[in-house]
Structure formats: C-alpha cells, structure tokens
Amino acid sequence: MVFPGLSALLSAKNLHHTRYHSLGLSLRHVCPGGTWDCSRPSVELVQKVTLVFSPALAKENQTKSPVSWSVRTLFGIGLLATCPLASTSKIVLEGANKMQTLKAEPAALATVVGRSSNVEFDVVRLVEEGHNNLQVSYQRGDPQRVAVRTPEVQASRYQVGYGQEQGEMVAKVTNSLDTELNVVYLDVLPWYLRVYFHTLTVREEGSGRLIQPVKSSFGLGVDRERPYSVELVLRLPARSTVKISLQYEKSILKWLEYPPDANHGFYLSPAVVSYRCPAEGEGEDDDDDCGSSGLRRVYTETLLLNLPTPDFSMPYNVICLACTVIAVAFGPLHNITTKTLIIETGPERPSIVRRIYWWVKALVISVLVFLRLKKKEEEEEKQDDDNEEKEQDEDGGTGEETENGQDEEDSEEKSQS
C-alpha cells in the first residue's frame, strides 16, 4: 500500500541511513487573513521532517563523476502522488540559482522564486506530466563550496552550580544584526525543578548592563501536575549577547517515579527563541525566504539533569532478606498449624516379681555357661597332659634298643679279632 504525499517518502530503511533525522510537531495561534490582532485566533498545526543526506559519500558516487543525486536514490521511491488535502506541494532547492554548477532535471519545470536564489518544482505538475523523479547533478565535477551565512539569532543553554540540591539555568541569546531585534524567549521546565522566579536576571554580556524585559509571563508549577514556564519578550541590542539566568531547587522524587536507569539523569526539553524575520536591508541575506508566517524559531540544546538519586540496591537487599526469612519460617509454621502433636507412650513396665525372675534366670544361665566353659578347659588340659606322657614313653623305648644294638656290634668285633 502506497501512502500519498510526503509520507510516501518516509521509508525506514532510507530514513535511518541519513546523517541526521528528526520529526517535529508545532501548534500556534494565528489570526485569519494574516493579521496580528484578532479576538478569535485559529490553531495552526505544522509537521516537519528534517533529514540530512550526504550524496557525495553515497556508494554510486564513489566511482563516477560528476556527483549526482535524485529523489529516488535518496528516499528509495519516486514521486508517485501528491497529498489530496494539501493545496500546494512543492520541492524547493535553496541556493540552486546561485550555484551555476547545479543542474536539475526536468529543468523546464523549474521556477525561480522571486528575487531569491531558490528554485521550486511543483509536484502536482511533475506527477501530471509523468515525471516521477527529480534528478540533480553537478556539471563541473565535485560540488562547489558555498559560504554559510551567520544566522541572525543564536541561542544556547547550559547549567551551572554543584551539589544535589540547587542549580542555575543560564541561556545566551546572540543578535548578529546591526539593529535591535525583538525576540520571545520561552522555557518550560519540569515540575521537579522548583524555580525561583525572583532570581531571574537578564544582562548584556560584556558590559553587564541589566536589560528590562518588554513583557514577561511566568507559569507556576504544581508537583506531578503542571510544569514551570518562563516567557520573556526581549529587545536585543545590535551585535550583542544577552545572558538569562534563573536559579532552581532540585526535588526528591518517589522511588517509583525514577526511570530504569536513574543514574543516567533526566532530559530537559530545549528552550525556544522566536523572532520576526528582519526587513529588507537589515539581514545579511535579503534573498533568503522566510516562509509565509514570517516567523523563525531557534532551539537551544537539550540538557541532561541529575537529580538526587537514592541507593536502589537497598530495597533489593531488603526484599531478598524478607523473602529468605519468610521461606525459612514457612516450613515450621506450616507444620505447626497443619499437624497434630501426639505424645507417644512407651511399653508397660513389668512388675518387680517378673523383673526378679528375669534377673535370677539370667544369673543361672550365666553360672551354667561359666561351669560348662570351666569343665571344657579342664578336659582339654587333662588331654594335653596324657599326650605329653605318651610322647615321653615312646622316646625312652627307642633309646634302650639303640644301646643294645651297639653292644652286640662291639662283641662281634672282639670275637673276630
């Protein structure tokens, strides 16, 4: 399904391959007919998509010259349809009329915007005539460098101070024009920064001169309901830098109000500086198109704020300890509350007569066993003595026979001699 209008060009694959991308949504009150004073203003909704491409670093431009790019190569899709709700759909090449090396196709449909250096293409006409792609190339090799002008207004914001209790927000607004310029400074701070409005100071940097706001508006914050807001209308001197400082106190949040990575900090939305486009002859680039509203906005940096952060490991330790105690105590408590305790009684104790009988019986058996063993030992000793006497008798008879034989041998020897 192809969505008509600008949404058709927002492909996630090509969108996240850009050098920078952002989505913006702004609401403001406008008066009908372009006037600046009305009793019933309307609400204007502006949606913005900001993408930064690098065509010179694209893969298809690494091996060829001159460098070129097109809507199809940047967004992955051509111009298929226009938004049916939009009254006009245009593609604007800013500064294309000044860069003579830039060539856009189809050139026949290009229109120079007034006295400016911008070139416009009507998307409705491109689609009706069958041109689904807008191609731009550089006629003389690499693109030429163009001097970037100094913006009329520059804004920045930062924090000062130390510790976990108090701090100070400082914003600097610079006017680069040769004439005075009226700007509107708007800063919305979250409720957990208790702003001290009486500490607001506006000074010109360098001379230290106090600058009185033309008009000021303060919005008091309510904890967990409404943020603080500061809106100032300032008249900036020519070629000057104005410093706006405001002190605040940091609040301690509930432990469930901290994000998962509490030690990373909290992001503060940028402040906004709004001003009317300078008249002809006042700005450095009179040809620059300021848009139909005639209003410009400059945003400061997004700040990272560290609030007093508790030790979240302690609740974890308490939970672990409590769970361990419950687990250890559950077994005994369950046994006590669900089982019945019964005292176990031993066997019946015998009477004294039966115990004496058992004692006498055991004694008699012991005596009989002793006598039997004694008798057996005596019989074994008597048998051993008889065996010894018999052995001695046998040894004595053998000795007499030997002596008689010896005498007979001696008598025979004598008779022979």
Per-position DSSP letters for 42-80, written without gaps between them: EEEEEEEEEEE--GGGSGGGSSSSS-EEEHHHHHSS---
Q: How confident is the model at residue 286 (pLDDT cuts 50, 70, 90)?
A: very low
CA distance 79 to 5: 9
Q: What is the pLDDT of residue 2?
A: 56
Q: Where are the domains of the chain?
A: 5-18+53-138, 153-305
What average pLDDT does range 8-19 have in this prediction?
Answer: 84
Residue 54 has pLDDT above 60, yes or no: yes
Identify the bridge partners of residue 229 per DSSP, sorted by sequence position: 188, 219
Note the pTM of the prediction, 2 decimals: 0.57
Residue 135 has pLDDT above 90, yes or no: no
Q: pLDDT by residue (tens digit) across 70-112?
A: 888 888 888 888 888 888 888 888 766 555 455 666 666 677 6
Q: What is the pLDDT of residue 386?
A: 81
Lowest mean pLDDT segment, chosen from 9-13, 31-35, 357-361: 31-35
CA distance 52 to 15: 10
Contacts of 177 (CB under 8 A, 6+ apart): 152, 238, 239, 278, 282, 283
What average pLDDT does range 393-409 have in this prediction?
Answer: 59
Preceding peptide of 66 cis, ω within 30°: yes
> What's the one-letter identity of residue 309?
T
Residue 305 has pLDDT above 90, yes or no: yes
Residue 296 has pLDDT above 60, yes or no: yes
Compute CA distances 243 → 57, 105, 203, whole Å.
40, 48, 5
Q: How confident is the model at residue 398 (pLDDT cuts 50, 70, 90)?
A: low
Q: What is the largest CA-CA distance in the chain?
A: 186
CB 265 within 8 A of CB 235: no
What average pLDDT does range 50-70 have in this prediction?
Answer: 74
CATH code, 153-305: 2.60.40.740
CB 256 within 8 A of CB 207: no
Residue of higher predicted confidence among 158 and 312:
158
Q: What is the pLDDT of residue 72?
A: 86
